[in-house]
Structure 1
């Protein structure tokens, strides 16, 4: 007897884990349709993160592999002026440059079409590039332009202006034939080339342009080809020495790291958008499992009646969730890898390299494991309910929620909070930003939940008793026992908040660049006007019936010393907190007797005039004061082209750098710099493209050294860039919208449990189908309007805070969220709610009750 009793015990102990897996598989197989929402939430959330992560890894790898081709050399030395004796000695000690380049921005005039355009002129010596290639049409033009003394012109610019090979381009006093179209050149900046397209000419031809004059912004580059050089050591030992001489060393390794970081920041932003989709998916998981466990309550009760323990029933469904998480992770990862193929197309024109999508096993492992982990974590809260289901529920219906352990709920909530924080920390690599992001999510959810509770309380207190029966019944449904009003408003509000914020942010960025609406703002800037030309250039503008808005003198200078400590001493001082740009930058400074409308006085007194003062009272911008670590009364000595000038800080200004006008970090009073070598900037406002073209043609013919920036063209480039970025953001937001809809479906399905018996009872008491239809429609209309309006309203507030605190600019909200997003989301909620309730309306009450039982 004893042995017989012990055998089953040992056998059952050994088969325990296998039995749990069998039960989980059998139950899940029978309920696969009911787990559709669960699977969809996992797949979409994982796909969003995997696609972005995989593309980011591909981009980083491609930049690393093609870093030499991106630069065209192993390393280079850059300087904004002719090298001094020390810099030239360093170049010679490296064996001399293998190739040189002189670069500047100027106006290019095309004789065949009489068109003019600001271009980036690059005079390149033979040999460059050593890696990669000049991509031209015809291909032979990459070499023949040097021999035949011709020009290679940006292919897009030629297409825009109708320029053909064989036409000529005039740069300053030099006229060259266009012998080829330039498709790509190493070291080119994609965005800047859209504003000032590149034009390549032979290196010796640069001097013939006669454009290297005082005030001209000239860049000198010295390229080196030496694959055996230890670039990390070179960067570590030589870069600090060159920094002291206002020169810069760049290796192809440091360039790839710099580009990687630049696009990594953009990738982090997309990762956050994908992460929001993942979070919504997590909410969908919790919602779907909540529905599933509600439907399984009687089955769990039966299992417990048959002898299953709390732990066993809990583990059966935990295993089931883990398997679903694994399957969802695999499918989500596969979908993400497919979607990453789209990103190179979406980001065309924004990336420094052509990205060839490849499979990253690290990302695949991350996607699958993330699917399992987040499924288990976010399913724990509803799964805890299985521990408190009584066996008696197999015999009777229990309408009240099972009481759950507060300790278990707290631990699960803490685990969820840590998951969100750690995952965002992995994406952002900054704990402060991650913590702010997590708190932002919690605050948003808390405000939406508070709005829902306040709404229900207001309905109770100010219930419209004089309304009709249908409207009153629909309102009563919003605060009935076990209602899902808060869940629904959270689901609707978060999705709407995300979409609206994307549109508001886009408009905020565009508003920063908009100058067309400002009547007195210039939209054309004339640069490098020499002192002897300023009167004649101004007359040319006036003769075109255009106003001269500004005629600004500019003197170039560098910081020599701050409070008695020289530039080099500061650089050598490892404890110095002065920003390097203050010490390396060549400042373009003006002098005037008043503030402009883009400036406001923070402290001190703005000195209008100071003849022969020593030290000279100057005004500095707040960012200069912050980075130079200077305050009122501090002394700064400037090197003005060889002459040292003592100055003292008398005022600090706040400058609105977002305004499209000429702003300055340093302003001298009148009476000091008038005799210094200088050039001028003249601004005007042109009404249309025809007037702009005529003025540019006149100026280029008479003053070839003057560079013209048409701000309308710049704005067009920026708007196209932002449109492309908004496409990407909207593409990622699509995942959030889909997962939001899934969460919405889940929340509405949960509310169906409370609604069925009420609507069946109404039909039993004589309510007609169209009346129940109207009650349901009105209820979801109220929910949709409240949730969507709350989301748009919160988005409006957050965008206003971004405008004031981050971008420091005025914010004019877009009408799109109000006219499209708000009614669109409301209509979507209405359609989902009605479609979910059609079963109740179409079928007889008895059939529905039997089915539910």
Structure 2
């Protein structure tokens, strides 16, 4: 019986419009969260499916020294398939031409996952092949064929061997992007490596052991191997596949998470305002039901059941809208995600239901608690307001749930916690400013016309209600400004993080005896370039304490840094794009070193620490005398560790440089390689274009989610204005009955609306500027310069929009005859 009554009540309230606002707010929140959820679910499933193919295996052991045969024997004993690969740079020769390439030597079973594809000739049709090249032959990619002018079957000098080029390699599953490993690829059989004589002492070789098999066997082998890993060895699983794609998607998810969580916050405000209005308009009906014998528990169950059914309907509609909207997100990011994505699972549906439940129980049920406690005496004494808000505890519980929801919606713990902290801080600050401003308005009534005096008097007389409206509108407008104005600043800062004249060519492998000749050649071409020495070294100890990856069990980045070799350099002056954050620059003291501040923070290095590096087997002790902040986005050559001259010069070194080529200068890169065949010129124009493409796709996706935020903001504005209409109807009728003219009341209403809108717009602009700076610096690692003009102009426009919207909603009250309004309010 109660269920049927609740359903009939819900249908009546929806037809009458009492619950439409709350229904729309729930739909918008669910749609925004589920749209981003569907996208994230599909992307996650895609990466999971493709990660194993991108690795070429299920698990990979990577090392900078030869891998012990015990690892292979243990894998085979557990029923795993295993294959070795070697990757190293070397020169190859063909018909008098020389080219630095990255050689990959593979076993016959390679790859264990994914596909190799081979074409008979450049631009020819390729096909999948079962394994790598057979012993006695090599494959090259199209770039190598072009640089060496190879034809199928042509001999290629690989060390001491002459091997025929048997095909053009078009697809390699585990070839990841690395700025300093984008030389042309040559693939050979691993059995040919000893005879080639290419691997000598000091050679830079990456050893990899690829494994594939059942998940339990892999897990067992991994547990066995982790305790036996040496320095420079690490395991890579599917979570590490394609980090460049994951990094781009992580930043995209943060932007989308920002838009989503602001939509949830706005929807929570709208739900709270709509539920409060519903409570105020149903006090009389509930008082009558109490007189007819309905208990408090019965009233509460009746309304909660109705709201539950409405929430289920809103969730269903919101999920459908989100599912439709996520196709727009997929389309906006199609270049980043690829064409084929599996369909999503049911996870986003549950997330949408969770959002609706949090908004319902956190912000709609507390006012219902007040309805259930309405006194029966209200039937006779209409002036009795709602019961004391015992629901404060309910609102507090709702806020805690909302905080958890915000963190989930953000997709990033730091972003979510900053959003929660910003929301709480903004709420407290806005409430304080609004309360003081509304109170002050009551003291500024003299010396002006009736409209001004009455408008400010009404503003102060309804201080609590107007403070609530200012805070609600301020939070809503701040969210819109944050995405509508500061969002543009964030995106612009991201896009400008790579300058237009940033270096787009890197040149590596410049030998010491070529340094001056290369510098003179570049200068003769009008190319400004600085050649920097580069020495590879491994960090051994800090303050005489040996350091290893085991010292950082919870920090994956620190472990990777410790396991890898660092690129060190020396120079006397502070490089361009470097800024000292602590310490002093080199003073001429022996054994000084300057360390990048981020690296120092990650590894716990401080000023005055003594570091020992191993450089070609020779230990080099240095003392940290300064920490530097680097502009990595400048695309210049940067180094984690710098020393003054006199510390590293006796170590084997090569030189590296970067410079910018405009369209007219681009042929110079090919002439440089012709002049110095051993050099490798890395063209990163395509990389820069890809970065800009990713930014553009993310911006387009944010625009889609921003539509939900706009809709939620419109609901907040409408809900605030509806509550004002309810409060003013009876009051205006009394004033008209006492002789006030319509033009006087119109002026008073406009003054009140303008004051509320201007105050809300001003505090929203200030809040958006502060929160935008915080998000840019702490979450997105950007350094934007926010202009105060844009937020303040937006605040003025918001005040005008609020006044106009309020007037359009409230001017009809002046046309209602005073007697009718008094009877309705009586």
Instruction: Choose from 782, 785, 800 the match for 1:812.
Output: 785
Q: TM-score if structure 2 supplies the norm length? A: 0.80
Q: Cα gap change, 1:731/1:573 in structure 2, threshold over 3 Å: closer, same or farther?
A: closer
Matched, 1:460 2:442: yes
Alignment RMSD: 5.0
Q: Measure, in 2, the Cα distance between the counterparts of 1:265 and 1:43.
A: 27
The residue that corresponds to 1:583 in the other structure is 562
Matched, 1:593 2:575: no
**1:444 deviation in Å?**
1.2
The residue that corresponds to 2:97 in the other structure is none
The residue that corresponds to 2:96 in the other structure is none
Question: Per-residue CA shift, 1:301-327, capped at 9, x if unaligned?
Answer: 322333334443343323322222232
Q: Measure, in 2, the Cα distance between the counterparts of 1:671 and 1:120.
A: 32
Q: Cα gap change, 1:201/1:776 in structure 2, threshold over 3 Å: closer, same or farther?
A: farther
Q: Measure, in 2, the Cα distance between the counterparts of 1:67 and 1:836.
A: 55
Matched, 1:402 2:386: yes
Question: Per-residue CA shift, 1:761-804, capped at 9, x if unaligned?
Answer: 56667877777666555544443343233222212122334456
- Structure-to-structure mapping, 1:473-552, within 5 angstroms: 473-481=454-462, 484-502=465-483, 504=486, 507-508=489-490, 511=493, 514=496, 524-548=505-529, 550-552=530-532
Q: Cα gap change, 1:70/1:581 in structure 2, threshold over 3 Å: closer, same or farther?
A: closer
Q: Measure, in 2, the Cα distance between the counterparts of 1:347 and 1:274.
A: 17
* Mapped contact 1:214–1:679 kept (Cα < 8 A): no
The residue that corresponds to 2:221 in the other structure is 234
Q: Measure, in 2, the Cα distance between the counterparts of 1:754 and 1:762.
A: 13
The residue that corresponds to 2:95 in the other structure is none
Instruction: Choose from 690, 693, 701 the match for 1:717.
Output: 690
The residue that corresponds to 2:805 in the other structure is 832
**1:586 deviation in Å?**
0.8
Q: Cα gap change, 1:535/1:177 in structure 2, threshold over 3 Å: closer, same or farther?
A: same
Q: Measure, in 1, the Cα distance between the counterparts of 2:157 and 2:684.
A: 21
**1:534 deviation in Å?**
1.9
Q: Cα gap change, 1:476/1:215 in structure 2, threshold over 3 Å: closer, same or farther?
A: farther
* Mapped contact 1:489–1:784 kept (Cα < 8 A): yes
Question: Per-residue CA shift, 1:329-373, capped at 9, x if unaligned?
Answer: 33323333444444433333434894312341x554554465345
The residue that corresponds to 1:41 in the other structure is 25
SS of the aligned residue for 2:510 comes to: strand
Q: Measure, in 2, the Cα distance between the counterparts of 1:256 and 1:597.
A: 31
Q: Measure, in 1, the Cα distance between the counterparts of 2:36 and 2:71.
A: 44
Matched, 1:731 2:704: yes
- Structure-to-structure mapping, 1:649-660, within 5 angstroms: 649-658=623-632, 660=634
Instruction: Choose from 548, 556, 559 the match for 2:536.
Output: 556
SS of the aligned residue for 2:391 comes to: helix
**1:732 deviation in Å?**
2.6
Q: Measure, in 2, the Cα distance between the counterparts of 1:451 and 1:41.
A: 27
Instruction: Choose from 344, 352, 364 the match for 2:330.
Output: 344
The residue that corresponds to 2:639 in the other structure is 664
**1:99 deviation in Å?**
6.2
- Structure-to-structure mapping, 1:182-221, within 5 angstroms: 186-187=173-174, 192=177, 201-203=186-188, 219=206, 221=208
**1:665 deviation in Å?**
2.5
Q: Cα gap change, 1:443/1:317 in structure 2, threshold over 3 Å: closer, same or farther?
A: same
Q: Measure, in 1, the Cα distance between the counterparts of 2:199 and 2:789.
A: 50
Matched, 1:385 2:359: no
The residue that corresponds to 1:10 in the other structure is none
The residue that corresponds to 1:677 in the other structure is 652
The residue that corresponds to 1:356 in the other structure is 342
Q: Measure, in 2, the Cα distance between the counterparts of 1:52 and 1:369.
A: 14
Q: TM-score if structure 1 supplies the norm length? A: 0.78
| Structure 2 unaligned residues grouped into runs of 5+ | 92-99
- Structure-to-structure mapping, 1:22-171, within 5 angstroms: 22-32=4-14, 33-79=17-63, 81=64, 83-84=65-66, 86-87=67-68, 90=71, 98=83, 100=85, 102=87, 128-133=110-115, 140-143=126-129
**1:679 deviation in Å?**
1.4
**1:35 deviation in Å?**
0.9
Question: Per-residue CA shift, 1:44-63, capped at 9, x if unaligned?
Answer: 21222233334444444444
* Mapped contact 1:577–1:629 kept (Cα < 8 A): no
Q: Cα gap change, 1:429/1:151 in structure 2, threshold over 3 Å: closer, same or farther?
A: closer
